[in-house]
Amino acid sequence: MATQWKTSALKPTHPLPVHHSWPLYERERFFELGRLHRCETLDPIPDVVDVAARLAPAAVRVGQWECDLTDKDRLSWSEEVHDIFGIPRGAAVARGEAVALYAEGSRAAMEKLRAYAIRHRRGFTLDVEICPAQAPRRWMRLIAAPVCEGDRIVRLQGLKFLVPDSAGPEF
């Protein structure tokens, strides 16, 4: 007699979450934004460059972001980050409003890694599920690293981009 296997609703396994914390001395390896964006003020993330090289050039739109810890967590987003979250380009976004767009499990993981990054001066990479204002749920790769001035961390900065195949046709 053949064995019958029941299928059940399992937690989605794609994209697989990336929980990775890295020390700031590895910043050159993980966080060289400049070459990726042809920008002189920031330095590219080989992981992102490798992913983008394997995909069609238009398939991955990478956005830059920054959170100023000295100015009430003021956010600065590129147009691509606004698009990812479904918020009009150029609109001012409070951190609390942005965090509210993360799915609960992703929000908890992001907040935990963010606090760890600030406390221990470490960067991190994490896949998070977001619930954009005007679009369906999707997965986004979040890459962050603290920026230090002297002995204190003054801001976090990094990249955000949609995990391929999670954005849907409208993005």
pLDDT digits (tens, 9 = 90+) for 7-41: 334 444 444 444 567 666 666 665 554 334 333 33
Is 43 a residue whose pLDDT tops 60? no
User: Mean pLDDT throughout 54-74?
Assistant: 80
Instruction: For residue 13, tell me if it sits in a domain.
Output: no
The CATH code of the domain that includes 93 is: 3.30.450.20
Which structural domain range is residue 41 located in? 20-54+62-162
User: Mean pLDDT throughout 107-129?
Assistant: 92
Instruction: For residue 135, tell me if it sits in a domain.
Output: yes
How far apart (Å, rounded) are the C-alpha atoms in residues 5 and 21?
Answer: 38
Q: Is the pTM of this model over 0.85?
A: no
Using DSSP's 3-state secondary structure scheme, residue 66 falls into strand
Number of separate domains in the chain = 1
* CB distance 110 to 126 below 8 Å: yes
Compute the CA torsion angle 102, 146, 80, 74 (nearest 10 deg). Answer: 70
Beta strand 152-162 pairing with 74-77: unpaired
